[in-house]
Amino acid sequence: MQVIHTLIHLVLLIAMPPLLPGIIGKTKALFAGRVGPPFLQPYYDLIKLLQKGSVFSTTTTWMFLAGPVVGLATSLLAGLLVPLGSHAAPISFEGDLILFAYLLALGRFFTASAALDTGSAFEGMGAAREVTFSCLAEPAVFLSFLVLAKLSDSLSLTGMLSGSFAAKWAEGGASLVLVGVSLFIVLLAENSRIPFDDPNTHLELTMIHEVMVLDHSGPAFGMILYGAAMKLFVLGAVTIRVLLPWDSGNAWVDWGGVIVGMMLVAVFIGVMESTMARLRLVNIPKVLVAACLLSALGVILLVK
């Protein structure tokens, strides 16, 4: 039975991520009164990109290609540590939450370095913003993990997130709500969504993630898109589990719940992106500090 659940986890982790940007795009199109690209558009894009040729800048080195590879590999391994719904993750051990956070950081190191590899000012700006904002997002993540670890007496993501949430809500419901909001803000920042970054903007000066990958093309760009979608999926799985922690008791229904939950995250992001504008860059640190404070408040509420 465990083997089947692990297999389902792997299939979802590998197959589902590109669907999320598709759902976000469709939701935004709905709000704008357009038909929008089909749900499966990101899959078509990936297949198309994998078959294309590449253009490399003459200034680049091996680091330029290491960015996409490391970005995808770290998202994938981080995905193996995260439990989906009430099901345990395929790999789980004491302290894996630290590995989870540091794997994503490793991906960031190489993505930002790959951006600097082109020697373009735009990509330098994107990399600078990415690492700056993550400096503020990282403490928020760890404060949230503190709350979850305290409530569950466990140091693994599976122990913290799968299993029953009923007792945890009774003990620290308010903290969990704060942590959920904080994690959602981090999710938006880490995946470069509005209000932190507009993935559809046309001006290089205002971008964060998109501008870092300006010079990537073909299969390497495909890997970047896939890795980014997978990161959205992985962080979404953590967030939705904190915000919607209900289990049906039936393992199969729970898998359905996971899929619906992830779609809900995507729809919600789409609604947010349709109804608000991107913040000015100078205001972004304030939002992230607010996320840190929310989870810090969550920790304080647990002190009795």
Residue 15 or 98: the one with the smaller Cβ distance to another protein is 98
Does residue number 125 form part of the binding site for another protein (CB under 8 A)?
yes
| Residue (63 or 251) nearer to another protein, CB | 63
Whose tokens are 């073909």? That residue is: 218
N- to C-terminal Cα separation, the chain:
41
Residue identified by tokens 């935004």 is 28
At 254 the three-state DSSP class reads helix
Stretch binding another protein (CB under 8 A), from 3-11, 110-118, 161-169, 170-178? 110-118
CA 159 to CA 149: how far, in whole Å?
8
| C-alpha span between 127 and 109 (Å, rounded) | 9
Nearer to another protein, 198 or 215 (CB): 215
Span interacting with another protein, options 33-41, 128-136, 178-186, 236-244, rule CB under 8 A? 128-136
Ranges within 194-213 binding another protein (CB under 8 A): 204
Strand, helix or coil at 179? Answer: helix
Q: Kindly tell me which residue out of 82, 90, 138, 245 binds another protein, with binding defined by CB under 8 A.
A: 138
278, 196 Cβ separation under 8 angstroms? yes
Residue choice 190, 197, 198, 215 for contact with another protein (CB under 8 A):
215
Task: Tell which positions 61-90 bind another protein, by CB under 8 A.
Answer: 61-63, 65-66, 68-70, 72-74, 76-77
Residue of 143, 179, 228, 238 that binds another protein (CB under 8 A): 143
Angle at which helices 251-275 and 166-190 pack, to 10 degrees? 40
The Cα 100–Cα 272 span in angstroms is: 27
| Residue 299 makes contact with another protein by CB under 8 A | yes
Instruction: CB nearer to another protein: give 34 or 52.
Output: 52
Which residues within the stretch 4-63 sit at the binding site for another protein (CB under 8 A)? 50-59, 61-63
From the list 9-17, 25-33, 82-90, 291-299, the region that binds another protein by CB under 8 A is 291-299
Report the residue number, 89 or 266, with the smaller CB distance to another protein: 89
Task: Return the number of the residue (271 or 290) whose C-beta is nearest another protein.
Answer: 290
The reply to whether 267 sits near another protein by the rule CB under 8 A is no
Between 23 and 125, CB nearer to another protein: 125
- Which of the residues 147 through 166 are near another protein (CB under 8 A)? 149-150, 153, 155
**Which residues neighbour 285 within 8 Å (Cβ) at sequence distance 6 or greater?**
132, 133, 136
222 vs 257, beta carbon nearer another protein: 222
Burial of 131 from C-beta contacts in 10 A (0-12 / 13-18 / 19+): middle
At its nearest, how many Å lie between another protein and the CB of residue 72?
6
Contacts of 152 (CB under 8 A, 6+ apart): 159, 160, 163, 168
Secondary structure of residue 88 in the 3-state scheme = coil
- Give the range of 104-112, 179-187, 253-261, 262-270 binding another protein by CB under 8 A: 104-112
| 231 CB-near residues (< 8 Å, 6+ apart) | 71, 75, 78, 104, 107, 190, 191
The residue behind tokens 């969990």 is: 176
* Buried b or exposed e, range 88-119, using 16+ CB within 10 angstroms: bbbbbeeebbebbeebbebbbbbbbbbbbbbe
Among 15, 94, 173, 253, binds another protein (CB under 8 A): 94
